[in-house]
Structure formats: C-alpha cells, structure tokens
Chains A and B, each alone.
Chain A
Amino acid sequence: MKRALALLPPLLTLALILGIWAAFTGPTGLPSYLLPSPSLVGAALWSGLVTEGTDWPHLAFTLTATLVGYVIGSIGAVLVGALVAESRLFERFVYPYIIAIQAMPKVALAPLILVWFGFGLASKVVLVALICFFPLLVNTITGIRGADREMIEMARSFSRSGWFVFVHVKLPAAAPAIMAGLQIGIVLALIGAVVGEFVSSDRGVGYVIGSATVNMNVAVMFAGVLELAAAGMAGSTLVRWLHRRIVFWEGRPSHPSAES
C-alpha cells in the first residue's frame, strides 16, 4: 500500500507531461516530422515490439554488444587494476598511460575501431569494453589501495600469505568501489554500443534510430530512444541490486555502540 502510494507522484508527473505533449501535437499542433504525438510513438512501439516484432532483432543485437563488451571490459579492468595496485613495477611502466587514456573521450576512437574490427558485432563489443574499462579500472585501483592498513597488518601477523591477504582482505575491501565502477560501467556500455551503431552498422537500436532520422520518421526514433531507456534502467537496477547483495556489509558501522 505504501509502495503503491509512493508511485503516485511520479505517475502524476508522467500524466502531466503526456498531457502537455498531446496538447501540442496531433492534427492541430506541431507537425509530426518535428514532434510526433504520444499516440504515434505508442503505435511505433506497439508495431515494433508486438504486432510486427521488427525491433527485437535490433534490441538483441544492441544488448548482446552491450553485455559482452561490458563483461569483457569489466573483467579486464579488475585484473589490470589489481596488477597496478599490487605491482610497483607494473604501475611505474603502465599507470601514466592509463591516466592519459582515461582523460581521452573513448567515443572518438569509434571510427578507428570500426575500421579495425569491421562493421559487425566485434567492433561494438570492443568499443563497449573500452568505454566501461577505465572508470572501473580507476575504482579498482583506489579500492584496493584504500584497504585498511591495520587490517592487512593483522592478517600478516597471523602468518597469512600475500595471496590470502589479497583475496580475503584487499579485494573485499575494494568491493564497494568495484561495484560502484560496475554501476557507472553498465550505463556507459549502452552508450558505447549505440555510438558504435550510429557510426556504422546494419543492425541494432542505434542503427534503427539512425535510419529513421534519414527518413524523418521521428516516431520510430522516439520508440528507439524509449527502448534504450528501458534497457538502461533495467541494467542499472540489476547492478544496483547485485551491489547491495554482494557488498552486504557496506554502510553499516562496524561497531554501533561501545558497551560490551
């Protein structure tokens, strides 16, 4: 009951926006090649997802590129991050370049990546992996470095090996930062996939939006944007849920009171 009530205000906002939107469009309002009415967008969504079902292969393509690239980029980021955080030597040789590349907008590489990896799925996967790699890398490094020194000393005092300390002290200590990096990454991953499809592709939601632009079919563009919004929200909700489950100890004071 309380939850249903909490949904009411945002739903009212939505109704208001749709109402204003409908009032300015339709037969008497703005022409549909500038702003289609909500009903036209609804119709485009309905045909794309239900009656015709033509949007599904595109969605599947975009989501495949997003997820595969995300998984590869994230695993790579945690591995490289762990190496940088744990190895002075590796850090000295590699870290300055990581910082430099991090500051560069990775989407600028999209055309180059398309030339190297073709116009199919592979180039999108590479672009996605690259885009979500860096934020997670930086978070992994700061997370591991931020592990409590006394905690590490404690584990060492009990003759625990360096590997044990890494797996059981440093990595869990970095988990909140890693999960935060994964949350940033899932949003960036979808952006990467769509940008890749914009630049050159014959499939994907980005491609659908791009070709609808050429035909001035704005309703289809809107439908594509809404599909991407839904995918993005689903993805980040899932990662946030995982975050809470995995890092269950986060945000709890370690000793709420002092009496014994």
Chain B
Amino acid sequence: MSAVPLSLSGVGFAYPGREVLRDLSFTVADGEFVAVLGPSGGGKSTLLRLVAGLLPRSAGDILVKGEPVRRPRQDVGMVFQKATLLPWRTALDNVLLPAGFRRGASAAELERAQALLKAVGLPDAAGLYPSQLSGGMAQRVGLARMLLHDPDLLLLDEPFAALDAMSRERMALVLQELWLARPRAALFVTHSIPEAVFLADRILVLAGRPARVLLDWKVELPRPRRPETMADPLFNELALALRHEFDKVAA
C-alpha cells in the first residue's frame, strides 16, 4: 500500500457548461510543501475543494494515503481565505471545532488546543471572541484549528490573501515555523509569486481555461527561510522566471 499523502491522476472538474480543470496529475510526498500558483479565479480553490472531499470530481482519481477521496477526512486539515471563525464561539472553542468544541473534546484535545494557540502566538486569546481579534489573529486561530488533529495533509486556500502586506509576511513565517515543527505534505494555493517561492519546496503553476499544470518547479532554497531569503539571488531569479512564465501565459 502506497502511503503517498496525495496523488492525483487525470483529475478533471466541470460545472455544467464550463470546464474548470483538465487532466491534473501530480503527487505530493510526505514532508513536501507544494505551492499551487495561478491567476485568481483559475480553479485553484476548486482543486483544493476536490482534494478536501468537499466537491465531487468529474474525472480521474484523487488518492489520499492510497485511498480515493469521497468525503472530508479527519487526517486532512484545511484553512480558508476567510478565517471562517464562528463569531459565537471563543477562540479556544473555534480551535476545538474539529473535536466538537470544549464539551466534546477530550482532555488531550483541550491541552493540544491550548498548546496550539500558544504555538501560533496567541497564548492569551483562548477566551476572546472573533470580534475581538484582528484579521491576522483570526487567521492564526484558523491555523491552530487546522492542526488540532495533527493532520498528515495540509490544505491551505490563500489563507493570507485577505491580510495586509506586513501581516502576510509575518504569517508566512508563522506557517513555516508550524510546518517545520513537523514537516508534512502541504498543498498551498496562492496567487502571490513571492509567497509561493518563500514557502514552497515545489511550485505548480496552474493556468489556462480549463486550467492545467503548466510548470512543475523545485525551489532549492535552504530552510528555515528568513526575511533575508527574499534578498537571496536564487529567490529573485525564481520569482522573475515565474513572472516571465505568467506573462507568456497571459499573452
């Protein structure tokens, strides 16, 4: 039995009258951070929803740890573009949502939720409601919620797109730190070239109508990546090359 965290072969998806994705085939290895880069509205989020089991694919196979995806799984964690915290629940309860909130959580889950809030830099936010959190803080709670059940596959749907530039960079560092604590398979959707280069081991460029994988590039920058990484010649070279590729696609 192959334990490849994620493997897609010939995956396609179409809404009635509109083909969104065609013939996607790739795998994500354990401990591999893969960024899916593409223009807005290009089917990246759809791809993530197919992998999450939130949408049924129209063609092909999606295997998570060797099993076909039919519905959401406990060992897959997801964050969304909007923080999607329940406004009527405290930060701690929001982190515990996958366990059925505080009432449904075991002592171990409660302890882990508190540790995760600390890990994302919010040790004192447990009792706060989402209205008392800034956008960046809310998204940190979202990251903690994704990690509650220590998933083997992370799905991140432009989690920092709604934040301002400063918060984005800080959040990228938080995410890298969480991931380095236990490197696992991650699929990170973004339309930001620097964000993809900064975070990923590998970048897939998804473009066209219907969208396909146009490029599959490795990012050979050492970890942990630091703010100085963005001044690294290799970083800039890659980002520039990706920009050229995008211009080609757009032309």
Contact = CB atoms under 8 A, between A and B. Distances in A.
A225 interface: no
A40 interface: no
Contacts of A256: 131, 134
B54 A156 contact: yes
A159 B134 contact: no
B161 to A, nearest CB: 12
B66 interface: no
Contacts of A159: 71-74, 98
A252 interface: yes
Interface string A145-186: 000101101111111100010001100100100000000000
A148 B88 CA distance: 14
Interface residues of A, number: 27
A254 B133 CA distance: 8
Contacts of B171: 260
Contact of B163 (A153, A248, A252, A260): A260
A252 B72 contact: no
Contacts of A150: 80, 82, 84
Interface in B48-90: 49, 52-54, 71-74, 76-78, 80, 82-88
B179 interface: no
A160 to B, nearest CB: 7
A259 B134 contact: yes
Contact of A169 (B49, B72, B86, B100): B86
A259 B52 contact: no
B88 A172 contact: yes
Given A150-B84, A153-B54, A172-B88, A257 B78 contact: no
A239 B129 CA distance: 24
Interface string A226-260: 00000000000000000000001100111111111
Interface stretch (B26-34, B135-143, B212-220): B135-143
Interface string A1-43: 0000000000000000000000000000000000000000000
Contacts, number: 95
Contacts of B167: 258-260
A257 to B, nearest CB: 5
Contacts of B250: none
Nearest to B160: A260
A42 B171 CA distance: 69
B251 interface: no
A49 B227 CA distance: 78
Nearest to B131: A252
B130 interface: yes
B129 A257 contact: no
Contact of A157 (B54, B85, B130): B54
A164 B98 CA distance: 11
Nearest to A257: B134
Contact of B130 (A156, A172, A255, A258): A255
A260 B74 contact: no
B223 interface: no
A179 to B, nearest CB: 13
B134 A158 contact: no
B80 A154 contact: yes
A175 B87 CA distance: 12
Interface string B137-163: 111100001000000000100000011
Interface in B21-51: 49
A93 B133 CA distance: 44
Contact of B87 (A154, A164, A249, A259): A249
Given A164-B100, A169-B86, A254-B131, A260 B136 contact: yes
A197 B55 CA distance: 56
A255 B86 contact: no
A157 B162 CA distance: 20
B135 A155 contact: no
A258 B135 contact: yes
Given A153-B49, A157-B54, 16 more contacts: A150-B82, A151-B84, A153-B54, A155-B97, A156-B54, A158-B77, A158-B145, A159-B74, A168-B86, A249-B130, A254-B131, A255-B133, A255-B135, A257-B135, A259-B164, A259-B167
Leading 5 A-B pairs by shortest Cβ distance: A260-B136, A252-B131, A158-B98, A249-B87, A260-B167
6 contacts: A153-B54, A168-B101, A169-B86, A253-B131, A258-B162, A260-B140
